[in-house]
Structure 1
């Protein structure tokens, strides 16, 4: 019997698991994927929004700025990539200035600090590559960028080392409330729990609708992105938004925390929650609209396009709280943008609900500190020499584009909730995320996984399930 079972190991589920680990509770996280952060969390804009966009007095408005302010301390504790690079909302038409001023006023009501309206001369001084037609901008210095999957992995690892049990490849198929407990039927057996937290992202409506008469609906909204090589990552220092108009929110241009350049997303409402396809029309539209912001989009340095689905709810706000008709069942549903930015505050909110219900004592042994995998590419020459002397595997570079060593890959496999497939290694080390997109290193990573996990090479997968990479041997001549 678990005290708390969290369904979904995305950023909200893992943040919540770590928050609840601060108490003496028996906690379980169920995830149908082969790893944490494999849903919406792994494919988004990676922006920590300042908090001016959400309407005041909504959950989005209340939790965004609060969550944003929590990141500095969380980064110190959990050691994940994060940078406060600031953001600009660009206005290209003087007639649209009332909308920009309204956005500033909204942000101030939401508690966003240090918002400022700046004009063309200052904008081009800060960001010389912006289109010279720009008139004004809303400057938000608290805006930031993060690696969303590394952040989620950090929360999950810290939760696991503090006693939270993670069950991966475990899909929830039925939930029944029996007296004062829940019976959760999964693809790997049954689980009993006093409290259930629904953090299932795109599928949070399915989970809610298993137990509650108050039905919710999640409507997937696909967003496509273009990712550019680090060679052009310095073209933008801040995250550059276009002022929303009657034609939509526009396309953002931003550096990534790892030094790439990212543009996107568009917004395409679809039916299939698993449809992550890119379209020629969608990518062309992204590039055309990005040219409103930038003088030149460096298409020759494009290394990858991808898509992610946002969990857009039917309430036009986050759906957080205990179901009225099912006590002990707590929703964290409809967590679309600014969900990533708000996730620490969402976890705290859910934690308070659980503490009020179960009255657990504080976990005096809770350790908030988690250290990330040391990155060889970030080390000084002196540090590299020392690392190789201590562990010769640091002297074997596996991924040339991202300078990832065998030592880093081995640690990614051996850590709590360690990598079990190529994509899991990629999320923890960036092996395969560079210019060649794993063209040179995938076979080496596959061999390391097979040897370390003591499995046949044909059993190594790309992302779990039936995504096997090798199907047999070439005929020997």
Structure 2
């Protein structure tokens, strides 16, 4: 029997798994997707909010502020790209001053330091901001993070410390017994003392398998526009409009890799798996982004995409026992500021709920660090030359756009949470993330995946099963 089964390997599930890996427990993580962090965690704004916006007294407020404070140390341990660059929330209409002042008061209630900037102070920080801006709220301790690295590296650290991960294995049923649960998947069946439901968009469906619930998840789509990193210098930090009932609004923001994105939109939908984009929504994103930052170089757009977030009907995170079952813990409705809150959510779940139903004995050999990633792009010429002499694979550049070497691709495949798809490799190494979107490196990446898993090139998937890009061989190669 397992001690704990975690359902879902997004950023919340991964960080809970890592927190639990500090203790002598038998922990299994079940993920229905082909990879960790493959849904909401891979298509979000990547911002570590300071915590000024959530309504005081809510879980969002409590966990956002604490979570943000944990990020510098966490990202250092997990070798995750992170920058405490701050964020700016812009006011550009006289009628918005009451909302502006309300946010300033809310930040004080949440214990978050905010600065009120005049137009002149704002333009000194961000010269490319619209001249129509009247002022801004400056959250100096907010930041940006690489969400792909965060979820993969957190799960890698958990697995290195003893957690077991099963991908491509979805839960189809859960039966409650006297003091344990039987979790049935599309592949197997597991008995477990505790279930942690971190299933994101499907968390309400999972919870309803064992208990009546008085909440539900509302899928909300957000579309984005991604700009090439040659647009460097557009803005130095995320630029927000004033928030509304739909969310934090359409923003202009840098990423840790030097790209910029615009978005997201925010529209509820019934389909939890609809990631399509449409021209009308993208046009609206451009119009709203240009209101914040004029002269955005839309000709440098390299990709448009959409994510679907799990908006809770309760308007707050849903964390705690499921009905009468103290050993079935829901971690649901983790929408924005979920990414910023996730390290604190992990601690909250483990120490406020798991510890009440399961004894926790700390390991003597827990290692909070992962093996550092080598990124050729960031090395000096001297460091590169030394490395290439030791391993020539690091001297062969496979992805020209992002300067990713063969050595980096091979390293990703030989870690404890390796990619199983082209998309998985892309998120771990950035091969395929650049201007040509894989046009140059796709072949090499596909061949490496085929070799790793002993499959044909026609069996290599872009993402989940059935997403193979190479459908058949049209010519037989004669090696005679």
Q: Which residue of 2 aligns with 1:110?
A: 110
* Inter-CA distance 16–249: structure 2 relative to 1 (3 Å threshold): closer
1:205–1:215 Cα contact (<8 Å) kept: no
Distance apart, 1:476 and its partner CA: 5.6
Residue 350, structure 1, aligned to residue 349, structure 2: yes
Deviation of 1:127 (Å): 0.3
Distance 1:313 1:443, change over 3 A: same
Per-residue displacement from partner, 1:147-183 (whole Å, max 9, x unpaired)?
1121001100000000000011111000011111100
Farther off after superposition, 223-232 or 369-378: 369-378
Q: Give the TM-score normalised by the residue count of structure 1.
A: 0.98
Question: What is the alpha-carbon root mean square deviation over aligned residues?
Answer: 1.3
Show the 5 A alignment for 1:5-20.
5-20=5-20
CA contact (8 A) 1:209 1:216 kept: no
Is 1:154–1:372's contact at 8 Å kept on the other side of the alignment? no
Give secondary structure in 2 for the equivalent of 1:44. coil
Partner of 1:287: 286
By how many angstroms is 1:233 displaced? Answer: 3.1
Is 1:31–2:27 an aligned residue pair? no
For normalisation by structure 2, the TM-score amounts to 0.97
User: What is the CA–CA distance in structure 2 between the aligned matches of 1:153 and 1:254, rounded to whole Å?
Assistant: 23
SS in 1 for 2:202: helix
For residues 61-120 of structure 1, the C-alpha deviation after alignment (integer angstroms, 9 at most, x for no partner) is: 11101100000110121111111110010001233222112112111211213x110111
Cross-structure match for 1:265: 264
1:5-404 equivalence runs, <5 A: 5-113=5-113, 115-244=114-243, 249-352=248-351, 353-404=353-404
Greater displacement, 357-366 / 23-32: 357-366
Shift of 1:363: 1.2
**Within 1, Cα distance between the matches of 2:464 and 2:212?**
34
Matches of 1:236 and 1:228, distance apart in 2: 12
Determine if contact 1:9/1:31 at 8 Å carries over to the other structure.
Answer: yes
Match of 2:448 in 1: 448
Structure 1: stretches of 5+ with no match in the other structure: none
Partners in 2 of 1:213 and 1:247 — Cα distance? Answer: 28
Judge conservation of contact 1:90–1:137 (CA < 8 Å) in 2: yes
Gaps of 5+ in 2: none
Q: CA deviation at 1:273?
A: 0.3
- Matched residue pairs, number? 476
Counterpart CA distance in 2 for 1:406 and 1:25 is 37
**1: distance between equivalents of 2:365 and 2:476?**
57
What SS is found at the alignment partner of 1:385? helix
Cα shift readout 1:293-317 (whole Å, capped 9, x = no counterpart): 0121211111110000010011000
Q: Distance in 2 between matches of 1:163 and 1:351?
A: 17
1:266 Cα deviation (Å)?
A: 0.9
Name the stretch that deviates more: 320-329 or 281-290.
320-329
CA distance, structure 2, for counterparts of residue 246 and residue 357 of structure 1: 37
